[in-house]
Amino acid sequence: MRVLITGANGQLGSDIVDIFNSIHQVFAFGRDTLDITNIEEITRIAREIKPDVIIHAAAYTAVDQAESNLEDAFEVNAYGTRNVAIAAEDVGAKLVYISTDYVFDGTNDEPYSEHDVPSPLGVYGESKYAGEQYAASLCLSHFIVRTSWVYGKYGNNFVKTMIQLGKERKSIRVVNDQTGSPTYTVDLVHFLLELIESDKYGVYHATNVGQCTWYDLAKAIFEIQEMNDVTVEACSTEEFPRPAARPRNSVLGHSAIKRNGFTDLPPWREALECFLKI
Protein backbone atom coordinates (compact mmCIF):
# COMPACT_ATOMS: atom_id res chain seq x y z
CA MET A 1 0.00 0.00 0.00
CA ARG A 2 0.94 3.62 -0.48
CA VAL A 3 0.75 5.19 2.98
CA LEU A 4 0.98 8.92 3.66
CA ILE A 5 1.88 9.75 7.27
CA THR A 6 1.46 13.14 8.92
CA GLY A 7 3.30 13.94 12.14
CA ALA A 8 6.04 11.59 10.97
CA ASN A 9 8.66 13.12 13.28
CA GLY A 10 6.59 12.75 16.44
CA GLN A 11 6.76 10.08 19.11
CA LEU A 12 4.18 7.82 17.47
CA GLY A 13 4.76 8.96 13.90
CA SER A 14 8.44 8.03 14.02
CA ASP A 15 7.63 4.45 14.97
CA ILE A 16 4.89 4.27 12.34
CA VAL A 17 7.47 5.25 9.70
CA ASP A 18 10.08 2.79 11.01
CA ILE A 19 7.74 -0.20 11.12
CA PHE A 20 5.60 0.55 8.06
CA ASN A 21 8.68 1.13 5.87
CA SER A 22 9.46 -2.58 5.72
CA ILE A 23 5.93 -3.47 4.59
CA HIS A 24 4.40 -0.53 2.71
CA GLN A 25 5.48 2.33 0.47
CA VAL A 26 5.70 5.19 2.96
CA PHE A 27 5.46 8.93 2.33
CA ALA A 28 6.40 10.60 5.60
CA PHE A 29 5.74 14.26 6.40
CA GLY A 30 6.61 16.27 9.48
CA ARG A 31 5.41 19.80 10.10
CA ASP A 32 8.53 21.12 8.37
CA THR A 33 7.48 19.48 5.09
CA LEU A 34 3.68 19.57 5.28
CA ASP A 35 1.45 22.26 6.74
CA ILE A 36 -1.84 20.48 7.45
CA THR A 37 -3.51 23.82 8.19
CA ASN A 38 -3.09 24.69 4.49
CA ILE A 39 -5.88 22.94 2.58
CA GLU A 40 -4.31 23.62 -0.82
CA GLU A 41 -0.99 22.11 0.25
CA ILE A 42 -2.37 18.88 1.71
CA THR A 43 -4.76 18.46 -1.24
CA ARG A 44 -1.94 18.94 -3.75
CA ILE A 45 0.36 16.48 -2.02
CA ALA A 46 -2.39 13.87 -1.68
CA ARG A 47 -3.20 14.16 -5.39
CA GLU A 48 0.48 13.79 -6.30
CA ILE A 49 1.04 10.73 -4.08
CA LYS A 50 -2.39 9.11 -4.47
CA PRO A 51 -2.10 7.21 -1.17
CA ASP A 52 -4.24 4.22 -0.32
CA VAL A 53 -4.13 5.25 3.34
CA ILE A 54 -3.44 8.46 5.22
CA ILE A 55 -2.40 8.02 8.84
CA HIS A 56 -2.97 11.37 10.51
CA ALA A 57 -0.70 11.46 13.56
CA ALA A 58 0.12 15.18 13.46
CA ALA A 59 -1.32 17.04 16.45
CA TYR A 60 -0.98 19.94 18.84
CA THR A 61 -0.22 17.93 22.00
CA ALA A 62 0.81 20.61 24.52
CA VAL A 63 -2.12 19.93 26.87
CA ASP A 64 -1.43 22.72 29.36
CA GLN A 65 -0.39 25.33 26.80
CA ALA A 66 -3.59 24.66 24.87
CA GLU A 67 -5.59 26.28 27.68
CA SER A 68 -4.10 29.66 26.76
CA ASN A 69 -3.62 28.89 23.05
CA LEU A 70 -7.09 27.79 22.01
CA GLU A 71 -6.76 29.08 18.46
CA ASP A 72 -3.49 27.22 17.84
CA ALA A 73 -4.85 23.96 19.25
CA PHE A 74 -8.01 24.12 17.12
CA GLU A 75 -6.10 25.24 14.04
CA VAL A 76 -4.05 22.03 14.10
CA ASN A 77 -6.26 19.45 15.81
CA ALA A 78 -9.62 20.47 14.39
CA TYR A 79 -9.16 22.41 11.16
CA GLY A 80 -5.96 20.60 10.22
CA THR A 81 -7.78 17.30 10.60
CA ARG A 82 -10.65 18.70 8.51
CA ASN A 83 -8.15 19.42 5.73
CA VAL A 84 -6.59 15.96 5.92
CA ALA A 85 -10.04 14.34 5.86
CA ILE A 86 -11.04 16.36 2.80
CA ALA A 87 -7.81 15.39 1.05
CA ALA A 88 -8.30 11.70 1.92
CA GLU A 89 -11.85 11.70 0.55
CA ASP A 90 -10.71 13.57 -2.56
CA VAL A 91 -8.24 10.83 -3.52
CA GLY A 92 -10.28 7.89 -2.18
CA ALA A 93 -7.86 7.07 0.62
CA LYS A 94 -8.64 5.42 3.93
CA LEU A 95 -8.11 7.83 6.83
CA VAL A 96 -6.70 6.85 10.22
CA TYR A 97 -7.07 9.66 12.75
CA ILE A 98 -5.11 9.25 15.99
CA SER A 99 -7.18 10.62 18.87
CA THR A 100 -6.99 10.58 22.65
CA ASP A 101 -8.52 9.61 25.99
CA TYR A 102 -8.80 13.34 26.71
CA VAL A 103 -12.06 13.45 24.76
CA PHE A 104 -13.63 12.04 27.96
CA ASP A 105 -14.04 13.83 31.29
CA GLY A 106 -12.93 10.87 33.40
CA THR A 107 -16.03 10.65 35.61
CA ASN A 108 -16.98 7.11 34.54
CA ASP A 109 -16.42 4.32 37.04
CA GLU A 110 -15.95 1.80 34.24
CA PRO A 111 -13.69 1.84 31.15
CA TYR A 112 -14.99 4.12 28.41
CA SER A 113 -16.73 2.45 25.48
CA GLU A 114 -16.30 3.58 21.90
CA HIS A 115 -20.00 4.48 22.06
CA ASP A 116 -19.77 6.72 25.14
CA VAL A 117 -20.43 10.36 24.33
CA PRO A 118 -17.25 12.45 24.65
CA SER A 119 -17.20 15.31 27.15
CA PRO A 120 -13.73 16.89 27.19
CA LEU A 121 -12.46 18.75 30.25
CA GLY A 122 -10.18 21.17 28.42
CA VAL A 123 -9.13 22.78 25.16
CA TYR A 124 -6.85 19.94 24.04
CA GLY A 125 -9.61 17.35 24.39
CA GLU A 126 -12.16 19.68 22.79
CA SER A 127 -9.91 20.27 19.78
CA LYS A 128 -9.20 16.56 19.34
CA TYR A 129 -12.91 15.72 19.57
CA ALA A 130 -13.63 18.37 16.95
CA GLY A 131 -11.04 16.62 14.79
CA GLU A 132 -12.87 13.32 15.29
CA GLN A 133 -16.10 14.91 14.11
CA TYR A 134 -14.46 16.30 10.99
CA ALA A 135 -12.81 12.96 10.21
CA ALA A 136 -16.09 11.09 10.59
CA SER A 137 -18.20 13.53 8.58
CA LEU A 138 -15.81 14.34 5.74
CA CYS A 139 -14.15 11.00 4.93
CA LEU A 140 -16.35 7.98 4.36
CA SER A 141 -13.55 5.41 4.87
CA HIS A 142 -12.32 6.51 8.30
CA PHE A 143 -10.85 4.92 11.40
CA ILE A 144 -10.73 6.98 14.59
CA VAL A 145 -8.20 5.44 16.97
CA ARG A 146 -8.19 6.74 20.54
CA THR A 147 -5.17 5.92 22.65
CA SER A 148 -3.64 7.06 25.95
CA TRP A 149 -0.48 7.47 28.03
CA VAL A 150 1.77 6.85 25.04
CA TYR A 151 5.49 6.14 25.35
CA GLY A 152 8.22 4.87 23.04
CA LYS A 153 11.84 5.35 22.07
CA TYR A 154 11.24 8.69 20.34
CA GLY A 155 10.49 11.99 22.01
CA ASN A 156 9.76 12.74 25.64
CA ASN A 157 7.37 10.73 27.77
CA PHE A 158 6.57 9.70 31.34
CA VAL A 159 8.70 6.55 31.26
CA LYS A 160 11.83 8.39 30.17
CA THR A 161 11.14 11.19 32.65
CA MET A 162 10.86 8.76 35.57
CA ILE A 163 14.11 7.02 34.68
CA GLN A 164 15.92 10.35 34.47
CA LEU A 165 14.45 11.56 37.77
CA GLY A 166 15.38 8.25 39.36
CA LYS A 167 19.01 8.90 38.47
CA GLU A 168 18.85 12.36 40.04
CA ARG A 169 16.73 11.76 43.15
CA LYS A 170 16.11 9.05 45.72
CA SER A 171 12.49 10.02 46.31
CA ILE A 172 9.83 10.92 43.73
CA ARG A 173 6.20 11.92 44.30
CA VAL A 174 3.73 10.66 41.69
CA VAL A 175 -0.01 11.13 41.32
CA ASN A 176 -2.03 8.12 42.46
CA ASP A 177 -5.60 9.22 41.71
CA GLN A 178 -5.54 9.22 37.90
CA THR A 179 -6.10 5.83 36.29
CA GLY A 180 -5.40 4.89 32.70
CA SER A 181 -3.68 2.46 30.36
CA PRO A 182 -0.06 3.03 29.28
CA THR A 183 0.47 2.42 25.57
CA TYR A 184 3.72 1.36 23.93
CA THR A 185 4.02 2.93 20.48
CA VAL A 186 5.30 -0.27 18.86
CA ASP A 187 2.22 -2.22 19.97
CA LEU A 188 -0.07 0.55 18.73
CA VAL A 189 1.68 0.60 15.35
CA HIS A 190 1.23 -3.14 14.91
CA PHE A 191 -2.48 -2.69 15.57
CA LEU A 192 -2.58 0.04 12.91
CA LEU A 193 -0.90 -2.33 10.45
CA GLU A 194 -3.72 -4.82 10.94
CA LEU A 195 -6.43 -2.16 10.96
CA ILE A 196 -5.60 -0.57 7.59
CA GLU A 197 -5.82 -3.93 5.83
CA SER A 198 -9.53 -3.99 6.66
CA ASP A 199 -12.64 -2.04 5.79
CA LYS A 200 -14.07 -2.25 9.31
CA TYR A 201 -14.36 1.50 9.70
CA GLY A 202 -15.35 3.39 12.83
CA VAL A 203 -14.05 4.26 16.30
CA TYR A 204 -11.47 2.11 18.08
CA HIS A 205 -9.86 2.28 21.50
CA ALA A 206 -6.29 0.99 21.30
CA THR A 207 -4.14 0.88 24.43
CA ASN A 208 -2.14 -1.81 26.12
CA VAL A 209 -4.49 -4.06 28.07
CA GLY A 210 -5.10 -3.39 31.76
CA GLN A 211 -5.00 -0.29 33.90
CA CYS A 212 -2.90 1.44 36.53
CA THR A 213 -2.30 4.83 38.11
CA TRP A 214 0.70 7.01 37.32
CA TYR A 215 2.05 5.93 40.72
CA ASP A 216 1.66 2.25 39.78
CA LEU A 217 3.40 2.89 36.49
CA ALA A 218 6.33 4.66 38.16
CA LYS A 219 6.71 1.80 40.65
CA ALA A 220 6.73 -0.72 37.79
CA ILE A 221 9.37 1.26 35.87
CA PHE A 222 11.79 1.25 38.81
CA GLU A 223 11.11 -2.42 39.60
CA ILE A 224 11.85 -3.50 36.03
CA GLN A 225 14.93 -1.28 35.89
CA GLU A 226 16.04 -2.64 39.28
CA MET A 227 16.42 0.91 40.57
CA ASN A 228 15.64 -0.31 44.08
CA ASP A 229 17.12 2.73 45.80
CA VAL A 230 14.38 5.01 44.43
CA THR A 231 11.32 5.55 46.64
CA VAL A 232 8.03 6.45 44.97
CA GLU A 233 5.55 8.37 47.13
CA ALA A 234 1.87 8.62 46.24
CA CYS A 235 0.24 12.05 46.07
CA SER A 236 -3.02 13.59 44.84
CA THR A 237 -3.78 15.53 41.69
CA GLU A 238 -4.56 18.58 43.85
CA GLU A 239 -0.98 18.58 45.11
CA PHE A 240 0.25 19.11 41.54
CA PRO A 241 -2.09 21.72 40.03
CA ARG A 242 -1.84 22.12 36.25
CA PRO A 243 -3.49 24.60 33.85
CA ALA A 244 -5.44 21.78 32.16
CA ALA A 245 -7.62 19.37 34.14
CA ARG A 246 -6.80 15.68 33.72
CA PRO A 247 -9.45 12.94 33.52
CA ARG A 248 -9.40 10.85 36.72
CA ASN A 249 -10.38 7.72 34.80
CA SER A 250 -9.16 7.47 31.21
CA VAL A 251 -9.27 3.69 30.84
CA LEU A 252 -10.54 2.83 27.36
CA GLY A 253 -12.53 -0.33 26.74
CA HIS A 254 -11.61 -2.41 23.67
CA SER A 255 -15.00 -3.68 22.50
CA ALA A 256 -14.46 -2.61 18.87
CA ILE A 257 -11.15 -4.48 18.64
CA LYS A 258 -12.79 -7.63 20.01
CA ARG A 259 -16.02 -7.29 18.02
CA ASN A 260 -14.16 -6.91 14.73
CA GLY A 261 -11.74 -9.76 15.34
CA PHE A 262 -8.52 -7.76 15.58
CA THR A 263 -5.54 -8.76 17.72
CA ASP A 264 -5.66 -6.90 21.02
CA LEU A 265 -2.60 -5.12 22.35
CA PRO A 266 -0.48 -6.93 25.01
CA PRO A 267 -0.88 -6.24 28.75
CA TRP A 268 0.67 -2.92 29.82
CA ARG A 269 3.24 -4.43 32.20
CA GLU A 270 4.45 -6.89 29.54
CA ALA A 271 4.75 -4.04 27.02
CA LEU A 272 6.68 -1.90 29.50
CA GLU A 273 9.15 -4.73 30.11
CA CYS A 274 9.67 -5.11 26.35
CA PHE A 275 10.38 -1.40 25.98
CA LEU A 276 12.74 -1.15 28.94
CA LYS A 277 14.70 -4.27 27.99
CA ILE A 278 15.45 -3.21 24.42
| Average pLDDT along the chain | 97
* Domain enclosing residue 103, as ranges: 2-154+182-209+251-266
Coil, strand or helix at 209: strand
In a domain, 195, yes or no: yes
In a domain, 278, yes or no: no
Tens digits of residue pLDDT in 60-116: 999 999 999 999 999 999 999 999 999 999 999 999 999 999 999 999 999 999 999
278 has a pLDDT exceeding 90: no
In the prediction, which pLDDT does 34 show?
97
Q: Which positions are catalytic? A: 124
In a domain, 194, yes or no: yes
CATH code, 41: 3.40.50.720
In a domain, 27, yes or no: yes
In a domain, 244, yes or no: no
Coil, strand or helix at 13: helix
In a domain, 172, yes or no: no
Ramachandran class of 85: left when φ > 0, alpha when ψ lies in -120 to 50, beta otherwise: alpha
Number of domains the chain contains: 1
Query: Across the chain, how many H-helices and E-strands are there?
Result: 11, 12
In the prediction, which pLDDT does 153 show?
97
Tens digits of residue pLDDT in 109-135: 999 999 999 999 999 999 999 999 999
Query: Can you give the pTM of this predicted structure?
Result: 0.96
Residue 105 to residue 246: CA distance in whole angstroms: 8
In a domain, 242, yes or no: no
Residue 114 to residue 223: CA distance in whole angstroms: 33
Instruction: Name every residue whose Cβ is closer than 8 Å to that of residue 173 and which is 6 or more positions away in sequence.
Output: 232, 233, 234, 235, 239, 240
146-175: average pLDDT: 96
In the prediction, which pLDDT does 226 show?
95
- The total of other beta-carbon atoms located within 10 Å of residue 88's CB is 27
In a domain, 159, yes or no: no
